[in-house]
Amino acid sequence: MSSHNLEHHKSVYLKVLLALFVFTVITVGATYFDFGSVAIAIIVGLSIAFVKGFLVAGNFMHLLDEVKPIYWLLMLTVVFFLVLFFMPLLWEMNLVTVQ
């Protein structure tokens, strides 16, 4: 591996580390802020956690480099979800029409 490629990865990891540190400070700061509603506080907290999770999963788990397999897996998940979601509904409709 060339040293240029290693330096590129090193700079990406350092940027992600800095971003995670900044978002951790934002998370701690958000606990002291009154949002006026518990629902808004939960949305803000989950949004910050989503961004941090995306940074970790995308960079450290290299999911940003594997876009096509991720989309296929996501589509497969949606198909199985729809099948499992509608199977009891169709089963129940069948029982109602038979009786």
Identify the band that residue 4 occupies on the pLDDT scale cut at 50, 70 and 90: low
Cα–Cα separations (whole angstroms), residue 21 to 12, 16, 39, 95: 14, 8, 25, 56
Q: Tell me the percentage of the chain whose pLDDT exceeds 90.
A: 52
For the cut 80, the answer to whether the pLDDT of residue 23 exceeds it is yes
Interval 51-88: pLDDT, tens: 999 999 888 888 778 888 888 988 999 999 999 988 88
